[in-house]
Structure 1
Amino acid sequence: MTEFTATFATQISQVNKQHWQAIFHDNYPFYQYPFLHALEQSGAVSSSSGWQPQHLLIHKGNTLIAAMPCYLKKHSYGEYMFDWSWANAYQAHGIAYYPKLLSAIPFTPATGKRIGIHPEFEKFSQSLFALIVKVLTQTLEQVEASNFQCLFLDKATSDSLAKLGLIQRTDVQYHWLNKGYSSFSDFLSWMTARKRKMIKKERQNLVQHKLSFVWCNGKDITKQDWSSFYSCYQQTYLKRSGHQGYLNLTFFSSLSEQCADSTLLLKVINDKQEVVASSLFFKSETHLYGRYWGCMKEHEFLHFEACYYQGIEYCIKHNLQCFDAGAQGEHKLARGFEPVKLYGNYLIPQPNFKQAIADFIEKEQRYHNDYMQSANSYLPFKTDR
């Protein structure tokens, strides 16, 4: 592997866009160069926000053959695989937990590849993984980071990293899976009568408010649309979390130009033609991803409609296979979202902490396995589906 060299880029703009895209060549939207660039250009991702880019690049000569989006983190916000208890344990023993090195998509708990490899070099993938782990181990020492984490990565890569000594962790989300439904009514027809009635009641409840739902593709989203969405986003974040959200209007507005093909905005409009709520989605050839929503005025069940039911209808209409509506939300089970397992991997240099974390993760995995079985029993579908 001596012919391969590893370097780090402290800004995605230091990497040639075409070279990056040649490695991350499918249409999963979140590791695309324009999306990562928009995060950094807007300042939402930066050293001052606690997300210092440290993108790992592997070259053969002048050819970029592998890469990993990576960040030096000063905190654990915006990650969604929680490690706060680990940070507290380190602190209790007088050891600094931050900075840590993280491969993830900022503020985006959506599964995808975290290591991109040029198609011509995929036959060297296992050797490249080993090189990457070696480089990361050395880098942790050089930058005095406590550990490396790779979050929401595909299972195949997670398994490969586990074989190289990175502890594999699991988590659970809820995704809607398209079984070839012809319409929303067809989807409901596979549910038990009680659950079908519940969803119809929730949707019917909104009729009295005379709301309309308008989908906008990225290139058609206007500055006013983004301004309205951002007001909704800030208002809802403020109510839920006490702050106005991790992302700014500059980032969102740039999506119409930089990520037009993958960005969707759902506007909820009242009979006075006012935007009262809005939801932001991204799409690939196979998936719909629900990311952010907000409302100016609360209506019962509006969240379910704008974040779940409208998305399901979009997937059926456009023949998308999966709807990932975001992290958490056990209430999704009753609405037809199924439990799916997620993966993360951890490189912990300190032997004592490595063993303690491994023990914690092993117990956590047993819980997730039991939970998956239990959660499936709460799905609303008929047993003969």
Structure 2
Amino acid sequence: MNQPDSQPLSLTFDGPAQSKVHICRSIDDINAADWQSLAGSDYPFARYDFLQALEHSGCTNAATGWQPSHLVIHQQGQVTGIIPAFLKNNSRGEYVFDFAWAEAYQRHGQPYYPKLLMAIPFTPSQGPRLLLTPQLREILDSASLHKLLDTATTALGAHSWHLLFPNSADQALLCQPQTPDSSQLHRLGCQFHWHNAGYEAFDNFLALLTSRKRKSIRKERKQVSDQGIEFQRVSGSDISDRVLDGFYVFYQATYLKRGQQPYLNRDFFERLFRQMPEHVHIVIALKQGEMIASALFLSGTDTLYGRYWGCLDEYNHLHFETCYYQGIELAIDLGLQHFDAGAQGEHKLVRGFEPLLTHSWHSIEHPGFRDAIANFVAEEREGVRRYFEESKTLLPFRQTENDKGG
């Protein structure tokens, strides 16, 4: 990908009256107060500070394949909408997989990249992707929104656009009737999230599970304890350099074990902890007083997000305890209603995490590939829906009052 011109790119937008759109190649080109007034504080990953930390630490730039290309909508001299976006020359760190699409393009001598991506880098968590004033959201229809994204894609010389993990409000705006010549494709995915039914403690949650599952979880937790492993929780400004050092070693190990390079550098985490202390929490696993593993969580207004974890040596059930059970306890203690522990993982299902459909939208410029991909996506949606329904039947919650033992 060529290094883009640093000046914002202006677009003509056939949308709401008196609207202008700029494509900004750096978050620094956007006023932080304007951004935050639209993003709010409910969802930490859409915060200006989070995306600025990614950019300033060098994690999102042309060299990493994440060139910031944020869409900023102006009406009557006011910023009324921002769509965080990136021009991509790879598909790493997205968690909605299109590698097979790119390979098919390559086999036929066609360019798949660059593509325009509306997503939070390296973050497969549902949330706002369209940061709009209520007034703009009221008058912006689906057709105009899709046209805006198509226009931005063309202006940037991209061959497709992709919007990943929108929340329900954005999904409602994105959804439009699919016609035979429609270039927009709707994909489904399935994640597993934990929900807080007003629990005061972990045992209150366990009480709602079947006896067999309840005993299994207690056994797993006891096996961790029997290995001499204890846990501490550190939040915000209490996270010391020593804790950060340990955490980053473990985080790197998760990738290096697979022969991969980590997406994020230490500078990013330093900036994150310094600029967003109220949102960050680290769970530390200790054995004989030494850190052996850790997991990083971010909190929003009503949801806890489990993001990064790692260890050097393997211990029985250490991953489940550090990432899931400690996360559930943290969500309960913080009074949060939901716990999103990350993408995939059927192992979450039997531990009380409930299936949730996720969405993504894709617009493919090439008509031949669009038809082939549309057929794939239609079949995939049906498969995901079947999987979602089947997963609901496997939840470990007890169905009758007779199952209270254990």
- 2:217 aligned with 1:199, yes or no? yes
Question: What is the distance in 2 between the residues matched to 1:119 and 1:157?
Answer: 12
Question: What is the distance in 2 between the residues matched to 1:253 and 1:74?
Answer: 27
User: Which range moved further: 12-21 or 138-147?
Assistant: 138-147
Partner of residue 84 from structure 2, selected from 33, 45, 69: 69
Gaps of 5+ in 1: none
**Residue-by-residue CA offset, 1:357-377 (whole Å, 9 max, x unaligned):** 121111111111111111112
The equivalent of 1:109 in structure 2 is 124
The equivalent of 1:79 in structure 2 is 94
- 2:291 aligned with 1:275, yes or no? yes
The equivalent of 2:74 in structure 1 is 59
Q: Secondary structure at the match of 1:58?
A: strand
Contact 2:252 2:310 (8 Å CA) reproduced: yes
- 2:270 aligned with 1:253, yes or no? yes
What is the CA distance between 1:132 and its match in structure 2? 4.0
Counterpart of 1:215 in structure 2: which amino acid? Answer: R
What is the CA distance between 1:118 and its match in structure 2? 2.0
Q: Secondary structure at the match of 2:140?
A: helix
The equivalent of 1:33 in structure 2 is 48
The equivalent of 2:197 in structure 1 is 179
User: Which range moved further: 111-120 or 39-48?
Assistant: 111-120
The equivalent of 1:223 in structure 2 is 241
Question: What is the distance in 2 between the residues matched to 1:38 and 1:194?
Answer: 45
Q: Secondary structure at the match of 2:278?
A: coil
- 2:171 aligned with 1:158, yes or no? yes
Alignment CA distance shift 1:293-1:226 (3 Å):
same
Alignment CA distance shift 1:294-1:75 (3 Å):
same
What is the CA distance between 1:144 and its match in structure 2? 2.6
The equivalent of 1:290 in structure 2 is 306
TM-score, reference length from structure 1: 0.95
Counterpart of 1:207 in structure 2: which amino acid? Answer: S
Question: What is the distance in 1 between the residues matched to 2:24 and 2:157?
Answer: 18
Contact 1:212 1:269 (8 Å CA) reproduced: yes
**Residue-by-residue CA offset, 1:234-288 (whole Å, 9 max, x unaligned):** 112211x2123110000011112111111111111222x2111110000112100
Question: What is the distance in 2 between the residues matched to 1:341 and 1:286?
Answer: 19
- List aligned pairs for 1:1-385, cutoff 5 A: 1-126=16-141, 130-163=143-176, 166-239=184-257, 241-271=258-288, 273-384=289-400
Contact 2:42 2:302 (8 Å CA) reproduced: no
Q: Secondary structure at the match of 1:169?
A: strand
Question: What is the distance in 1 between the residues matched to 2:222 and 2:345?
Answer: 22
Question: What is the distance in 2 between the residues matched to 1:143 and 1:94?
Answer: 21
What is the CA distance between 1:151 and its match in structure 2? 0.2
Gaps of 5+ in 2: 1-15, 402-406
Question: What is the distance in 1 between the residues matched to 2:47 and 2:155?
Answer: 28
Question: What is the distance in 2 between the residues matched to 1:121 and 1:11?
Answer: 24
**Residue-by-residue CA offset, 1:114-152 (whole Å, 9 max, x unaligned):** 0011244443232xx544432322232233312100000
TM-score, reference length from structure 2: 0.90
Counterpart of 1:102 in structure 2: which amino acid? Answer: L
Contact 1:280 1:293 (8 Å CA) reproduced: yes
What is the CA distance between 1:53 and its match in structure 2? 0.4
Contact 1:218 1:255 (8 Å CA) reproduced: no
Contact 1:159 1:168 (8 Å CA) reproduced: no
Q: Secondary structure at the match of 2:189?
A: strand
The equivalent of 2:4 in structure 1 is none
Counterpart of 2:77 in structure 1: which amino acid? Answer: N
The equivalent of 2:8 in structure 1 is none
Percent of residue pairs identical: 41
Counterpart of 2:150 in structure 1: which amino acid? Answer: T
User: Which range moved further: 230-239 or 210-219?
Assistant: 210-219
Contact 2:192 2:356 (8 Å CA) reproduced: yes
Question: What is the distance in 2 between the residues matched to 1:370 and 1:186?
Answer: 31
- Alignment size in residue pairs: 381
Counterpart of 1:11 in structure 2: which amino acid? Answer: S
Question: What is the distance in 2 between the residues matched to 1:276 and 1:61?
Answer: 55
Cα RMSD for the two superposed structures: 1.5
Question: What is the distance in 2 between the residues matched to 1:255 and 1:157?
Answer: 26
Q: Secondary structure at the match of 1:261?
A: helix
**Residue-by-residue CA offset, 1:273-313 (whole Å, 9 max, x unaligned):** 21111100001121000000011222110100000000111
Contact 2:282 2:297 (8 Å CA) reproduced: yes
Contact 2:145 2:174 (8 Å CA) reproduced: no
